[in-house]
């Protein structure tokens, strides 16, 4: 009988697991442990509305203040778990305290990847992962300030969009040959690069940061293309799964905590969900996804599995990014060998790129095209073959493909 479930990681997946466990009728004890000051909150708005000052911190919270008390969930914040004793089924904390469990759920998430160049210890270098990061960064967003962003992915470009609208001089340096290379197709990279340039952002591709220069604070970034003066620097070069506590406990890990289709780890009493997991995907190969959707849906499946009602995880992954007045929505996982089908006109700033694999929709990228995105998700789940010419013809209603 499961009498206590301990959840390590107070983020999106952790909060969802608490809600799902109670919704599914679990009546035992739940303890949710987080190392931040705040109860579980949304991270996506941090680089958008919260950074821009359009959202107050209270609106970031995932649940009302009284949710955890009403759910009879013990919430331990500012608490760092240091080790797991699998034999004794106990979690140990930095304070010296320990807590036993019947089932353990790891929702430890991920952390930012740090720059490893000379000068990375100087003040004036910022990362963006939590509320405290944005609170420290926002005072530097003054008109005319020179901002250098290292990394042209989602985070880097979202920060660039906010900064240039605030009147900063913004330069993005990206080591790859195109922006958002890991996340989007070449057509989308070209579109967003042009949008940012049109808004005044200077983008430098194929450029690597080699050092940060300055005495006590950053004054410039040295790159393979020259020295760039900077009043401050934001680095957005990816995230790293927080899997160390699992590795130290002897759980299988490989670019994340390895779980099966039911979110079970290599220990039958330990489960994992969210950004920290390496799991089977719909398309076959194992993946580690960094998305709200994955955190929520995996947490729901983990709750069922811990209650001995396992249900295989087969959800269609989805992602989004807000930059300027453009909403990018992506569903599915694209492969380089997919056939890309353009629907709409990028010049109109409303279009979609569908990715066909063996004639069926495997992924869709939609810019200000909500219907294409929503129906695209359904087509991915359906797996039926679609006629590429009809899909490209905007005179053919999207609903007809259902």
Edge-first strand order for the sheet with 226-229 is: 209-213, 220-223, 226-229
Exposed e or buried b for every residue in 153-183, given b needs 16+ CB within 10 A?
bbbbbbbbbbbbebebbbbbbbbbebbbbeb
On the question of pLDDT at 13 being above 90, the answer is yes
| Number of residues that this document lists for the chain | 402
Tens digit of each residue's pLDDT (9 = 90 or more) over 94-135: 999 999 999 999 999 999 999 999 999 999 999 999 999 999
How far is 264 from 277, CA to CA, in rounded Å?
Answer: 10
- Percent of the chain that is helix, strand, coil (3-state, to 5): 25, 30, 40
Q: Are 246 and 211 in contact (CB under 8 A)?
A: no
Q: What is the mean pLDDT of residues 34-56?
A: 96
Q: What is the pLDDT of residue 10?
A: 98
Q: What's the predicted TM-score (pTM) here?
A: 0.95
Would you call 205 exposed, middle or buried from its count of C-beta atoms within 10 A (0-12, 13-18, 19+)?
middle
How far is 88 from 85, CA to CA, in rounded Å?
Answer: 6
Tens digit of each residue's pLDDT (9 = 90 or more) over 154-186: 999 999 999 999 999 999 999 999 999 999 999
Q: Which domains does the chain have, with CATH numbers?
A: 4-111+239-306 (3.50.50.60), 114-235 (3.50.50.60), 325-401 (3.30.390.30)
Q: What is the mean pLDDT of residues 8-35?
A: 98
DSSP 348: G
Lowest average pLDDT, out of 82-86, 133-137, 161-165, 380-384, goes to: 380-384
Q: What is the pLDDT of residue 366?
A: 98
Determine phi and psi for 228, rounding to 5 degrees.
-115, 115
Query: For residue 271, what are the β-bridge partners?
Result: 105, 264
Q: Are 283 and 269 in contact (CB under 8 A)?
A: no
Please state, rounded to an integer, the average pLDDT across all residues of the chain.
97
Q: Are strands 98-100 and 90-93 parallel, antiparallel or unpaired?
A: antiparallel
HSE, CB side, 13 Å, CA atoms: give it for residue 166: 23
Neighbouring residues of 25: CB distance < 8 A, sequence distance ≥ 6: 307
Query: Predicted confidence band at 20 (pLDDT cuts at 50, 70, 90)?
Result: very high
DSSP 99: E
Q: What is the pLDDT of residue 2?
A: 76
Tens digit of each residue's pLDDT (9 = 90 or more) over 353-381: 999 999 999 999 999 999 999 999 999 99
Q: Are 143 and 165 in contact (CB under 8 A)?
A: no
Query: Predicted confidence band at 285 (pLDDT cuts at 50, 70, 90)?
Result: confident
Tally Cβ neighbours within 10 Å of residue 72.
Answer: 12
Query: For residue 213, what are the β-bridge partners?
Result: 220
On the question of pLDDT at 1 being above 80, the answer is no
């Amino acid at each position: 009988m499961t009498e206590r479930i301990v959840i390590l990681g107070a983020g999106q997946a952790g909060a969802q697991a608490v809600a799902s466990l109670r919704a599914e009728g679990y009546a035992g004890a739940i303890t949710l442990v987080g190392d931040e000051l705040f109860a579980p909150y949304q991270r996506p708005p941090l680089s958008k509305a919260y950074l821009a000052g359009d959202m107050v911190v209270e609106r970031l919270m995932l649940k009302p203040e009284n949710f955890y008390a009403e759910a009879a969930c013990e919430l331990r914040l500012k608490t760092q778990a240091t080790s797991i004793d699998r034999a004794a089924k106990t979690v140990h904390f930095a304070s010296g305290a320990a807590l036993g469990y019947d089932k353990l759920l790891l929702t430890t998430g991920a952390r930012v990847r740090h720059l490893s160049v000379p000068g990375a210890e100087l003040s004036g270098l910022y990362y963006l992962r939590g509320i405290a990061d944005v609170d420290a960064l926002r005072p530097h967003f003054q008109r005319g300030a020179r901002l250098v962003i290292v990394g042209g992915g989602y985070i880097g470009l979202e920060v660039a969009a906010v900064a240039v609208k605030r009147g900063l001089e913004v330069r993005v340096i990206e080591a790859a040959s195109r922006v958002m290379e890991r996340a989007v197709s070449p057509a989308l990279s070209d579109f967003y690069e042009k949008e940012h340039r049109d808004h005044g952002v200077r983008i430098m591709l194929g450029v690597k940061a080699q050092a940060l220069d300055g005495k006590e604070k950053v004054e410039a970034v040295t790159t393979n293309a020259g020295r760039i003066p900077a009043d401050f620097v934001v680095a957005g070069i990816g995230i790293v799964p927080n899997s160390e506590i699992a590795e130290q406990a002897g759980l299988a890990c490989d670019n994340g905590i390895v779980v099966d289709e039911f979110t079970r780890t290599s220990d039958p009493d330990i489960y994992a969900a969210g950004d920290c997991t390496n799991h089977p995907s719909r398309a076959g190969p194992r993946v580690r996804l960094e998305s709200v959707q994955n955190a929520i849906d995996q947490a729901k499946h983990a709750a069922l599995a811990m209650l001995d009602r396992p249900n295989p995880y087969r959800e269609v992954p989805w992602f989004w990014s807000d930059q300027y007045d453009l909403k990018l929505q992506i569903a599915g996982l694209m492969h380089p060998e997919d056939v890309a089908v353009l629907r709409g006109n990028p010049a109109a700033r409303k279009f979609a790129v569908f990715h066909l694999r063996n004639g069926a929709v495997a992924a869709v990228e939609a810019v200000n095209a909500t219907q294409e995105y929503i129906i695209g998700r359904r087509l991915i789940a359906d797996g039926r073959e679609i006629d590429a010419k009809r899909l490209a013809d905007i005179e053919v209603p999207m609903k007809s493909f259902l």
